[in-house]
Structure formats: C-alpha cells, structure tokens
C-alpha cells in the first residue's frame, strides 16, 4: 500500500476523515500533545518533521489561557478563548514553515467550559466564512460527569453547529482516571474507568446521523504516570464496542474512531493493541512535561555557578554570565528533550514514516 501524501498545514474536513481511515488501514495512530506556548508547539512540529508524520497539537482550557498569558483576565473564558485563537494562528503559520501536517484540536471541556468552546466556534465560523475551512480541525467535549443522555444531547447540539464547517467532535464516555487540568478523578468509582459497549452504541446512534466524531472511551487509562501495576489497561473493551456496533448496525470493521487518553507511561504492547482496535489518536502530556523540564533542570544544575548573578562565576569575579542566563539556552534544551520524547511516541504508535508530508 502506498503511503498517504499530505500537504503541510492544518488538516480539516474530509481530509481529516480520510487520514483517520488510512491510519486504521495501516495500523497506526498519532500522538496528541498538549501545548502551552510557542516552545512546546515548535517541539511538537520538530518531532513531526523528523517522524514524517502528521501530529495532533491541542490546547486544554488552562493551556490556552497560559498561551495567551496568565496576565489576561479569564472572566467568561475570554482569556482562554484569546489564547486558543492565538495558538491556532501560530500553529497554522509555523506548520507551513516546518513542512508538517497538523490536526489542530482542543482538549477536555467539561459542561462549565461550554462558553470556551462556543467562543472558539464563533471565531471558527468567521474564519470559515472567509477561508472556506474551519480554524480548528476539531474540539473536544468531556461531559463524562453528566448522565449519558445529557452528555449525548449536548454533544449533538454542538456537533450540529460544527458539521456545516465539516469539523470533528471528540466526546468522552466513561472517565479517565487521575488528575489533569483541574479535573480530579483519582478516587472515581472503578467501574466508571471502563466504558460499556452499549454506551458507545448509543453515542454512535445519536451522533452518526449528524456529523463526524471520535470517542475517548475509558479502558482503565489514567492521566499521569504511576508505578507498574497501578494502572490496569483493558484495550479489549474497545474491540468489544467495535464488534457490537458492527454487528448491530451492520457496518464495516472498526466503525468508530477511538481516542486513547492518559497515554503517558503505557507500554508499546498496550499502545499497539489499542491501535489495532481503532485508536487513531493518543494523548500524551505528563511524559512530555517531564521531557521538557528535565533538560532544563539539568542545565540549571550544571550551570548553577554561572546563574547566581549577571557578573561573577568560577572564571573570575567580573566575568559576565550573559550567555548562560539567556533563556534561549535552557528553553531550547527543553524543546529538544520534548521533541525526542515525541519521536519515541510516533514509533510506539507505528506512525513514524507512514506518511509522505
């Protein structure tokens, strides 16, 4: 099978769905990395360029606010909206320069964050009217804390607004354990960590007639990294859901595009098994945070004697420290560390070298 060729830039509309179908055919998925500023965006783009693969760049609500600057007032989510829009335009401009294809996405949005999503859609509709494509490829609603019927009702309402722009909606069924972006599920009922096939079928029936969607289903996955044995993944749950829908609705194999949340710390075997059941995207955040921060800490430790003041170091009391205190030195070390970790993720997900970009 020949490799899929993608143009640099943001993948939207039908091209995104074709990309998902290609990935299920060759058995690969994309890393989805939460970015919080220009340094993490360029690290993600550099990794994708090396992997010769698209990448999912996404902003969480707090990440979007941070991108715009925590100096911004976030009343009515205005700071997070402004940061997300700024980030989207930044990614669009640099994706071309790096020669990388990007799925531009936003992460977890609980019910209280609907104004954030709706604010981004306001901008997206204006962008679509001018350019004929949406600003973002997709958005996520995480209404897993709500009853299933309410989860699907709200998702259907938002998807009806997104569909004219051919956008994709990511939904969550079940609960991803651990804590991320202010949502703490560390003590959640264990049963909720495993999504039931009946719930996935209900989502399929509710959303398939409206538009394009992906499902973040829970199969024991957890945000964060824990010692071996603490997280018990059961990817077979995804296969059970796929089989149920294929049987009940007489579809082809793997009719649902699944998303793997809480991918940090997972083994390659677990990742590859999940991909074989229709996972097309794996969120990785904790590992990339550490991959960025660790080289920065190492730099600070090694150069400590040069970072005490602007003048004076082991070479002499009047020696300048300008080249050591320049933030570009340690920020780029963080970028390189994060990019290297993401290249490993592409390999784990079998997407390294699977495309022509």
Q: Hey, is 145 helix, strand or coil?
A: coil
Query: Containing H/E element for 48?
Result: helix 38-51
Structure tokens at 120: 């981004």
Structure tokens at 302: 């090694």
Long-range contacts of 189-195 (CB under 8 A, 24+ apart): 192/144, 192/218, 193/218, 193/219, 193/220, 193/221, 193/222, 194/218, 194/219, 194/220, 194/234, 194/237, 195/219, 195/237, 195/241
The half-sphere exposure of 283 on its side-chain side, counting CA atoms within 13 A, is 29
Structure tokens at 344: 């490993």
* 107 classed as catalytic: yes
Query: Containing H/E element for 16?
Result: helix 13-26
- Say how far apart CA 269 and CA 93 lie, in whole Å: 36
With b for 16 or more beta-carbon neighbours within 10 A and e for fewer, the 108-143 pattern comes to bbbeebbebbebbbebbbebbeeeebbbbbbbbbbb
- Say how far apart CA 202 and CA 192 lie, in whole Å: 16
- Say how far apart CA 274 and CA 137 lie, in whole Å: 23
Query: Containing H/E element for 170?
Result: strand 168-173
Measured CA angle at 231 (ends 229, 233), to 5 deg: 110
- Say how far apart CA 218 and CA 355 lie, in whole Å: 28
Active-site position among 107, 142, 199, 285: 107
Specify the residue for token string 């579809």: 251
- Say how far apart CA 43 and CA 154 lie, in whole Å: 35
What residues are labeled active site?
A: 107
């Amino acid at each position: 099978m020949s490799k899929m060729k993608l143009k640099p830039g943001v993948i939207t509309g039908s091209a995104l769905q074709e990309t998902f179908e290609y990935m299920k055919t060759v058995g690969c998925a994309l890393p989805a990395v939460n970015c919080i500023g220009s340094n993490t965006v360029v690290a993600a783009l550099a990794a994708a360029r090396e992997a010769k693969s698209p990448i999912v760049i996404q902003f969480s609500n707090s990440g979007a606010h941070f991108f715009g600057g925590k100096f911004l007032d976030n009343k009515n989510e205005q700071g997070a909206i402004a940061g997300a829009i700024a980030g989207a335009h930044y990614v669009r401009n640099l994706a071309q320069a790096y020669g990388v294809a990007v799925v531009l996405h936003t992460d977890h949005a609980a019910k209280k964050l609907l104004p954030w999503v709706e604010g981004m859609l306001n901008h997206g509709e204006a962008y679509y009217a001018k350019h004929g494509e949406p600003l973002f490829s997709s958005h996520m609603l995480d209404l897993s804390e709500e009853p299933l019927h309410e989860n699907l009702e709200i998702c259907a309402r938002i998807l009806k607004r997104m569909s004219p722009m051919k956008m994709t909606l990511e939904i969550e069924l079940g609960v991803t354990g651990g804590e991320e972006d202010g949502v703490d599920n560390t003590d959640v009922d264990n049963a909720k960590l495993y999504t039931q096939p009946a719930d996935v079928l209900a989502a399929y029936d509710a959303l398939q007639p409206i538009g394009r969607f992906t499902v973040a289903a829970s199969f024991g996955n957890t945000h964060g990294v824990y010692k071996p044995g603490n997280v018990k993944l059961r990817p077979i749950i995804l296969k059970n859901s796929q089989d149920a829908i294929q049987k009940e609705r007489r579809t082809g194999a793997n009719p649902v595009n699944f998303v793997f949340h809480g991918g940090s710390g997972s083994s390659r075997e677990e990742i590859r098994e999940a991909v074989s059941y229709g996972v097309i995207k794996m969120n990785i955040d904790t590992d990339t945070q550490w991959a960025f921060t660790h080289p920065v800490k190492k730099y600070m430790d090694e150069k400590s004697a040069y970072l005490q003041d602007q003048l004076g170091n082991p070479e002499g009391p009047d020696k300048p420290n300008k080249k050591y205190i320049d933030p570009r030195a340690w920020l780029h070390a963080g970028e390189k560390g994060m990019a290297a970790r993401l290249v490993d993720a592409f390999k784990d997900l079998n997407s390294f070298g699977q495309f022509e970009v």
